Every structure is written in C-alpha cells, then in structure tokens.
Amino acid sequence: MVTNTAGVVVAGSFAFVDDTIAPNAGVTNVSYVFTPVDAADFNSVTGTIYVRVVKATAQITLSSPTDFAVEYNGSSLPVTATTEPAGLAVDIKYNGSTQVPINVGNYWVTAEVVDNNYYAWASLRMMIYASGSSSVNIYPPNVANNVVQLPILGVPNTIVNIYASDDLVSWTQVGSVKIPATGYTTFTDLAPAGSQGRYYRYANQL
C-alpha cells in the first residue's frame, strides 16, 4: 500500500527498474519503481529495497553398482547422484569423509546439493561385504517380535545356506532351506530383538 503526504492511499503497481533482473537466493538490494494508476495527479516514485529469495528445493537420486550391498573387490565403490533439475553439483560423503570406500564395512552416505539457488539432501546406508562367497543377496537387520524373516529366491529344488554376520566380515551359517517349485520361500531366524547390527546373506549349497 502506498500513501501520499496527506495520507491518501494511491493505487498503482510496483516493478523492478530493470525488469530482466532475477535475483539469486539470498538478500539483494534492487531498484524499484512505483507507477500510479492516476498518472495525471501523481508522479512515479523510484527507490531501493532489499529482496530476500530462498533456495528452491531440488531432488537427489542416489545409486550404486549393486543396490548398496556391494561385494568387496579391492576397488573403490562410489555412490553416484543425479539431480532434478539436472546437472547440479552434489557433495557426497561416506561416514563424513569424501574418500570413496574400498574396505568391507558399513557406510552412512550423505549427499547435499551445492548450488547458489537450489538445495537438496539425501542419505542411505551402503554395505561392502567380504568376497569369496557365491552370495546371492544381503539384508540389513529386520527384527520384529524377536524374529527375522528373510525372503529367499532361487532355482526350484536347490538348497541354499543362510549366513549371518554382525560385522560384515565374519559369517556364520544359521540355517538352510530348500527352494520349492515356486522359486520363493522364507527363512525365519529367532534372532534377539536387540541385534540391530546383524546382517544376512544366502548362497547356493555346494
């Protein structure tokens, strides 16, 4: 609302003096012009004003070679990021470090867009497990009511062994199942409910 010196409200509109300006996120001092509807009785007025622009929200999609459960192979195993809008710079860290992991372990991956006008943040857990096994899959802990139930997929009439680990290095066989004709079954492990560091994988019985 604009009023004149007599306190009368003056109808009109505001605009940037430079109508091509598009301020980046942050605070910018810009020039404006007020144009009255009644140009016969009132003059246009110019001035400056601070404009605050907040960052727009972007999106990050993270991906890795094998769905974040990766077998150790002696090479670095980076997570990749794509953004929407495309092409934004992303800072990726593994347990707080920019060094891409190589060794067996559990890594908390964070990703943050680095851009003057966009912001986004994403995270995931990545696991690198020991090599030397015909492992088919690996599962993070999923404990409910003192029971872990794993979905098992395989070739019908074959037997698979199920292994558990607390550190992704030492694996202990906890059971085996025969794959039925449907190619799908489950394995139930009476794991303690507090075993939040337990991981599972299964392999064809040799």
Question: What percent of the chain stands above pLDDT 90?
Answer: 18
- Say which residue the tokens 């009023």 belong to: 3
Q: Do both 118 and 68 map to the same domain? A: yes
pLDDT at 136 (0 to 100): 47
* Cα 8 to Cα 11: distance, rounded to the nearest angstrom: 10
pLDDT at 133 (0 to 100): 47
Q: Do both 31 and 43 map to the same domain? A: yes
Q: Do both 74 and 111 map to the same domain? A: yes
* Cα 35 to Cα 146: distance, rounded to the nearest angstrom: 72
pTM for the predicted model, two decimal places:
0.54
By DSSP bridging, strand 80-84 and strand 59-63 are antiparallel
- Show the domain range for 118: 57-129
By DSSP bridging, strand 118-119 and strand 56-57 are parallel
Q: Do both 43 and 62 map to the same domain? A: no
Q: Give the chain's residues under pLDDT 70.
A: 1-7, 64-69, 129-149, 151, 153-155, 167-168, 183, 191-198, 204-206
Q: Do both 153 and 115 map to the same domain? A: no
Q: How many domains does the chain have?
A: 3
Nearest to 155 by CA among 136, 175, 129: 136
Q: Do both 63 and 118 map to the same domain? A: yes
Q: Do both 12 and 36 map to the same domain? A: yes
